[in-house]
């Protein structure tokens, strides 16, 4: 059993921290910007809550975080009340936020100067994956820190892969989001075309879903997309945040991502139609308006 901390109790962090208690059996302290959420978590799972990240991490072996973006991450890590101000030497900070590779490298450098380590470890699997403890985790950082943290992450992971030095986890998550963007747009166009052509969508999907066109998105989203229901996953606002990170990195590296850039603009259309909190499969809505 380790002494661990979880910073950020959103739709992902809340169940992930819970698994550290129930599956991992660890001593868990939580921090959330809205304190009532932390109090609710303690009532549900036990453990402790702290009023600041610095107080939360005192004496901990591992500190996990899952917050919104680069700025949110810096706000819980840096400064006099941030996690780095209170972590003991040798402790490991594991960041599950989907953020930029640049902030991962920045915080790893800062951590090293303080005698602690930092792993960038964004996740894939969405809210359902977090709730079921079946996330895929992409990790950047040192071999030693990964080897130490990986057994703890098993509490909420079905797969954890070490991809290389600091920033590698975030870069891999960008690859993940590029793939999702293209697949969802393709599926949206396919369903829209099938409807327009007068095909039975259910029979058509059944015919193609066991062949080369098969995907997780097809298996899990075709029915809700066909029904115009978009309350089942990762929100459009968050996808646009992620694709913004992808496109910024592509400009930095010279990678050419014409489809990703186009789908990002399609998501902007969904936002303009009021679909900010719809899930990412809502791309079909802009084709059928």
Nearest Cα to 170, choosing from 104, 234, 265?
104
The C-alpha torsion from 72 through 61 and 136 to 281, rounded to 10°, is: -20
Q: How far apart are CA 57 and CA 87, in angstroms?
A: 6
* Residues sharing a CB contact under 8 Å with residue 258, sequence separation 6 or more, in sequence order: none
Q: Point out the catalytic residue in the list 43, 88, 173, 289.
A: 173
Q: How far apart are CA 288 and CA 283, in angstroms?
A: 9
247: burial class by Cβ within 10 Å (0-12, 13-18, 19+)?
A: middle
The C-alpha torsion from 140 through 122 and 91 to 162, rounded to 10°, is: -30
Please give the helix or strand (H or E) that residue 13 lies within, else none.
Answer: helix 13-22
C-alpha pair distances (Å), 69 with each of 97, 216, 239: 7, 26, 12
Side-chain-side CA neighbours of 34 within 13 Å: the count stands at 8
C-beta of residue 63 within 8 angstroms of C-beta of residue 92: yes
> How open is the CA angle 105-29-241, to the nearest 5 degrees?
40
Is 173 a residue of the active site? yes
Whole-angstrom Cα Rg for the chain: 20
Active site residues: 173
């Amino acid at each position: 059993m380790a002494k661990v901390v979880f910073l950020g109790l959103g739709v992902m962090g809340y169940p992930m921290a819970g698994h550290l208690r129930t599956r991992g059996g660890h001593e868990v302290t939580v921090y959330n910007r809205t304190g009532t959420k932390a109090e609710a978590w303690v009532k549900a799972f036990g453990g402790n809550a702290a009023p600041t990240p610095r107080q939360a991490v005192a004496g901990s072996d591992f500190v996990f975080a899952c917050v919104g973006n680069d700025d949110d991450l810096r706000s819980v890590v840096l400064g006099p009340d941030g996690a780095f101000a209170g972590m003991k030497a040798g402790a490991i900070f594991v960041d599950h936020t989907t953020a930029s590779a640049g902030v991962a490298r920045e915080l790893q450098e800062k951590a090293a100067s303080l005698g602690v380590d930092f792993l960038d470890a964004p996740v894939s699997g969405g809210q359902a994956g977090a709730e079921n403890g079946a996330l895929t985790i992409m990790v950047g950082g040192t071999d030693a820190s990964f080897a130490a943290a990986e057994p703890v992450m098993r509490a909420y992971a079905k797969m954890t892969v070490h991809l290389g030095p600091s920033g590698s986890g975030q870069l891999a998550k960008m690859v993940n989001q590029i793939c999702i963007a293209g697949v969802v747009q393709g599926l949206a166009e396919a369903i829209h075309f099938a409807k327009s052509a007068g095909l039975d969508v259910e029979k058509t999907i059944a015919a193609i879903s066991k062949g080369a066109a098969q995907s997780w998105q097809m298996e899990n989203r075709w029915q809700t997309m066909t029904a115009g229901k978009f309350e089942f996953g990762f929100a459009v606002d968050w996808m646009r945040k992620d694709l913004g990170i992808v496109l910024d990195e592509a400009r930095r590296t010279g990678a050419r991502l014409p489809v990703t850039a186009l789908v990002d603009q399609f998501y902007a259309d969904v936002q303009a139609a009021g679909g900010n909190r719809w899930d990412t499969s809502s791309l079909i809505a802009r084709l059928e308006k």
